[in-house]
Amino acid sequence: MPLRNLTYREVTRRLGKLGFRLYRQGKGSHELWVRDSDGQVIPVPHHSGESIRKGTVRAIIRETGVSVEEFMDL
Spell out the domains of the chain, with CATH numbers in brackets: 8-73 (3.30.920.30)
- Give the residue with greater pLDDT, 50 vs 42: 42
What is the spatial distance between Cα 51 and Cα 58, in angstroms, rounded to a whole number? 13
Neighbours of 70 (CB within 10 A): 13
Q: Confidence class of residue 12 from pLDDT cuts 50, 70 and 90?
A: very high
What's the one-letter identity of residue 20?
F
Q: Is the pLDDT of residue 60 over 90?
A: yes
Q: Which of 43, 36, 47, 34 is nearest to 5 (CA)?
A: 47
